[in-house]
Structure 1
Amino acid sequence: MEKPSDNQRTVYKLVLTGGPCGGKTTGQARLSTFFENLGWKVFRVPESASVLLSGGIKFSDLSEEEAFCLLPKIEKVGEPCEARESQCEAVKFQENLLKTMLQIEDTFFELGRTCKRNCLIICDRGAMDASAFIAKDKWETIMKDNSWNNVELRDNRYNQIIHMVSAATGAEEYYSTEDHSCRSEGIELARELDSKAAASWVGHPYFDVIDNSTDFEGKIRRMLVSVCHKISIDTGDRLLKDSRKHKYLIKGPLPDEAVFPPFQDFEVVHNYLQSNSPNQVRLRKRGQKGYYSYIHTVRRQNNPGGQVIEVKTQITHRDYINLLTQRDESHFTVYKKRRCFIFNNQYFQLDIYVQPSHPRCQGLMLLETYSALDEESLKKTLPTFLDIQQEVTGNPHYSMYNLSLREDWRHSKKFCSSVNGPQDMAYQDEHDKDIPNLNRSISNGHDCKQALKLNGHSELNSSAPMNGKA
């Protein structure tokens, strides 16, 4: 980890690797959002195999061994390979693939070095992943020919390695290819790829394996905790296994900025997309000073055990514009100012709804935090400079999905009466009698599971850089 002596800026180089269906894509998006909220600059280094594949390389054009060099990417590309070329060509191809990876990484590392803020650089796989998919003697040949060595490529190049274990190992009931139109591995192949990828990093001084011993949300939190712990960022209890999201209604007007602790403000725009299944699908545009990141989210609600899983994918500005053509016109676009800050060692996110939005959102402010504290202890940590009216966790009246509906809630068949899954209580009408800006006569009892479906949005470029000028 680089910390220049003049202002103690941190440049942290993280490799996020793992097997198919391990949560790597969602993990990258969550890491980006978490550290952006802390005021860090986040760079996402694309996987070099993705760069080559997007340039016209096809598995049908490669020998069996050349295609095997791209096995980490098979989880997203299902074309068959045909064995027809020599082994030496495969070695040369792997060598060029590794050179491409190192050069792309070095470009981002240099950007991090000159960045004026703390900087997190997330590498979608790293140099040693390549060693897992070719024979040991061929790997050693590549090392010798280029004056490379495993210590430099594995131990000294990156600050931390996180391996997200495939759902095929320990969470078999969740292993699926349905959300990835090009993913085709069976469970046994997925386990093999996962094991090989993990083995390639054994020996790194900061190597963390995030297994499937908890539910998916717990897995993502453990990943975040691991990174924060290594960087010595105190997250309080926000990321503990038992932490739970809490949402509070804030009464306006917004206090003067001077009363807030150090904060970061972001412009946030949400759009819901057309769909035909139990999943909610939305786009998020988020940024500062004309630079934005773009997230495609699928909210999967009919999972084993009643889990609600959000699969977040980083997309490009071009993908974002293209997907906006599938906007669901039954929803208004949601506009917010999002203020992120830490108070009493607790991380908070204040969403301030701004125009143009549905009239029911006028003046609406919602404060969110994650905590494992009991109710009374948590109350003592809440920001004293905000006028907190009441907790509205799990109240469908404050679901962004419901708030954005164009129709009157009394007549809408899309109103979701249970928006956060079984872990959040559905509020009774009596809890809402004093809530401003809401249509009181709601509750037709329709479940959002009947209203939504993912409609072919899985073919996105998840390895795109996170920032783009809008």
Structure 2
Amino acid sequence: MAEVLKIVLTGGPCAGKTTVLSVLSEFFERRGWKVYRVPEAATVLLSGGVSFAELDARMAAQFQNNLLNVMLRLEDTYHDLARGAIAAGATQSQVLICDRGAMDASAYTEPELWSQILADNNFTTVELRDGRYDLVLHLVTAANGAEQFYTTENNSVRKEGIELARQLDARVADAWLGHPYLDIIDNSTGFKEKLQRVVSAVCKRIGLEDEVPSKGRKRKFLVSAVPDELPVKVQDFDVEHDYLVTADGTQARIRRRGQNNQFTYTHTVRRPVIDGQRVEVRRSVTGRDYVALRAQREPHHCTVHKLRRNFMLDGYSYSLDIYRAPYPPRCAGGLVLLETFVRFGAEPNLPPFLKIDREVTDDPHFSMHYLSADPQAASS
């Protein structure tokens, strides 16, 4: 079945976005996808003669507001083309590769002005960050870990020195913190391997596990104590999971995830193990689809309620899942799990402010499917 996938390439200056855009375009085209390349709105406007030095505060604020709306209009134009093609009967899947996304604008805007822009346009952070994009790839600037390759010569509107580039990179990463599918691609390897890790992240997102050129794995840890306040920037989400009845016994689930009563919805199907690998295919669904799917809940499994706290530390993205009442019987009294994605051969620097009990990555008793099961319902 044809689908529309929307990917954001983001990160600090001189991170390799232009090269990655080319690599991903070729990757999808080789597999028969129609590729749309959404240009960076800021570069389009700034290369047209705009100079911030010539703008007063009012004009600068107006420009930032217009910049965001130009970006969104560009994305929507390509997205409408992609959806229109499928509606007209195209069997070819479509992908939009966006050179930066909506939340990038917030990293280059003062917080007060950004809040005003959101209010003026009736936007919410959840809508712009979580609801528009299927995958966010943050490419870390060469100014952080590959300083010898940092340059401003290959972009006519790039003026940042190394220290400013690092600061901007961190601000952009913070802006996207909380997106459900955010991958941080750092400079811990050579650039060729960095490109491979980008392709790996995309393969995992669209269910092409057999084509992953550079593999890692999700690691899971049991946490015995969490401070009331974490010493890092966090994004908190209310999350609900439900497992579904399926005709062929395939494991499927739905998720509602949001902040401030603004939600996004995901449907996940876990495919059977092939050659020792298990693949999960995720797709975003509408609120109406979510309600319809929820009517197919598995009666032998409980709804799982969590507070999910996302944060970054030492280049790794972490998810802290704090289970909430009403608890499934198998985690009565509460449970806290920490998850992060780690390349093979590497070890994460576990947060020192959390009391880690032990690793439970391969313990089936800590899978959500097991934890959500209701033994009494299953035996009745």
Q: Which amino acid aligns with 2:41?
A: S
Task: Identify the match of residue 173 of structure 1 among 138, 148, 155.
Answer: 148
Over 3 Å counting, the alpha-carbon distance change for 1:226 and 1:200 in structure 2 is same
Stretches of structure 2 that go unaligned for 5 or more consecutive residues are 217-273, 276-380
Matches of 1:106 and 1:148 in 2, distance apart? 15
TM superposition shift of 1:196: 1.4
Q: Which amino acid aligns with 1:176?
A: T
> Based on CA coordinates, which of the two structures has the bigger radius of gyration?
1
Matches of 1:107 and 1:28 in 2, distance apart? 19
2:59 aligned partner? 89
Aligned residues: 213
Query: 2:43–2:157: 8 Å Cα contact kept in structure 1?
Result: no
Over 3 Å counting, the alpha-carbon distance change for 1:168 and 1:88 in structure 2 is same
SS in 2 for 1:188: helix
Structure 2 counterparts to residues 285-434 of structure 1, below 5 A:
none
1:392 aligned partner? none
2:281 aligned partner? none
Matches of 1:40 and 1:161 in 2, distance apart? 19
2:4 aligned partner? 11
Matches of 1:180 and 1:126 in 2, distance apart? 19
Task: Identify the match of residue 99 of structure 1 among 35, 54, 69.
Answer: 69
Matches of 2:210 and 2:81 in 1, distance apart? 27
Query: 1:221–1:240: 8 Å Cα contact kept in structure 2?
Result: no
SS in 2 for 1:200: helix
Query: 2:199–2:213: 8 Å Cα contact kept in structure 1?
Result: no
Matches of 1:37 and 1:143 in 2, distance apart? 39
SS in 1 for 2:116: helix
Q: Which amino acid aligns with 2:63?
A: F
Over 3 Å counting, the alpha-carbon distance change for 1:152 and 1:52 in structure 2 is same
1:35 pairs with 2:41:
no
Cα distance per residue 1:59-118 (max 9 Å; x no partner): 1xxxxxxx2xxxxxxxxxxxxx35x62x23222211111111111110001111123211
Over 3 Å counting, the alpha-carbon distance change for 1:132 and 1:183 in structure 2 is closer
1:128 pairs with 2:98:
no
Structure 1 segments, 4+ long, off by >6 Å, are: none
Identity %: 50
2:49 aligned partner? 57
Query: 2:8–2:137: 8 Å Cα contact kept in structure 1?
Result: yes
Matches of 1:235 and 1:178 in 2, distance apart? 38
TM superposition shift of 1:179: 4.4
1:249 aligned partner? none
Matches of 1:165 and 1:237 in 2, distance apart? 21
TM superposition shift of 1:173: 2.1
Matches of 1:199 and 1:191 in 2, distance apart? 12
Matches of 2:96 and 2:130 in 1, distance apart? 16
Matches of 1:16 and 1:178 in 2, distance apart? 20
Query: 1:20–1:166: 8 Å Cα contact kept in structure 2?
Result: yes
Structure 2 counterparts to residues 107-118 of structure 1, below 5 A:
107-115=77-85, 116=90, 117-118=92-93
TM superposition shift of 1:237: 5.3
TM superposition shift of 1:136: 1.2
1:20 pairs with 2:13:
yes
TM superposition shift of 1:178: 4.6
1:204 pairs with 2:194:
no
User: Which TM-score applies when normalising by structure 1?
Assistant: 0.43
TM superposition shift of 1:180: 4.6
Matches of 1:190 and 1:175 in 2, distance apart? 9
What RMSD in Å do the two structures reach over aligned CA positions?
Answer: 2.1
Task: Identify the match of residue 129 of structure 2 among 143, 154, 158.
Answer: 154
Query: 1:17–1:164: 8 Å Cα contact kept in structure 2?
Result: yes
Cα distance per residue 1:226-281 (max 9 Å; x no partner): 0110111134454459xxxxxxxxxxxxxxxxxxxxxxxxxxxxxxxxxxxxxxxx
Cα distance per residue 1:198-241 (max 9 Å; x no partner): 11111111111100111101101101110110111134454459
Over 3 Å counting, the alpha-carbon distance change for 1:134 and 1:106 in structure 2 is same
SS in 1 for 2:209: coil
Stretches of structure 1 that go unaligned for 5 or more consecutive residues are 1-7, 60-66, 68-80, 242-343, 346-470
2:205 aligned partner? 230
Q: Which amino acid aligns with 1:41?
A: K
Matches of 1:159 and 1:229 in 2, distance apart? 12
